[in-house]
Amino acid sequence: MKTILAILVTLTGIVPSGCEVEEVKQPYSEKRGADASSHFDEMLTRHVGVDGRVDYAGIRQNPFQLIAFVRFLEAISPESHPDLFQTPSDEKAYWINAYNALIMKAVTDHPEIDSVNDIQFAK
């Protein structure tokens, strides 16, 4: 969408001067956190087999749950909201989920990659 907007602005010669876009950050809410986690859990149930193999093609077809969870991870972390991670186990779960979600996103963002094993650092 940003690319389309940039092309339109370039083609029409309209250049906004002095305009600045400010990112709006939504405050954390228990519901938002629960929704993000439940979306990620649902995606895992649907796209990860009992043998642990991930159906990356399936995630690519509908990446919205993964994207929502990654955005949640960006907004809420043990550093930004330490009160939400009261035990070492809470923090550990966050980092494990973050690692898994970011690896899945890296693979799904690159159609030429079929498996995490195709990523150079994973070998």
pLDDT digits (tens, 9 = 90+) for 69-90: 999 999 999 999 999 899 999 9
Query: How many independent structural domains does the chain possess?
Result: 1
Q: Per-residue DSSP letters for 40-91?
A: HHHHHHHHB-TTS-B-HHHHHHS-HHHHHHHHHHHH--TTT-GGG--SHHHH
Say if 68 falls within a structural domain.
Answer: yes
Say if 7 falls within a structural domain.
Answer: no
At 31 the pLDDT is 56
CB-based contact 48:55 (threshold 8 Å)? yes
pLDDT band at 120 (very low <50, low <70, confident <90, very high): confident
Say if 67 falls within a structural domain.
Answer: yes
Say if 13 falls within a structural domain.
Answer: no
Percent over 70 (pLDDT), the chain: 69
Domain range for 117? 26-122
Say if 71 falls within a structural domain.
Answer: yes
At 34 the pLDDT is 63
pLDDT band at 115 (very low <50, low <70, confident <90, very high): confident
Say if 101 falls within a structural domain.
Answer: yes
Q: What is the pLDDT of residues 11-54, one digit of tens each?
A: 333 333 444 444 444 444 555 556 678 888 999 999 999 999 99
At 32 the pLDDT is 59
The answer for residues whose C-beta is within 8 angstroms of residue 123's C-beta and 6 or more apart is 117
Find the largest Cα–Cα distance for the chain.
Answer: 55
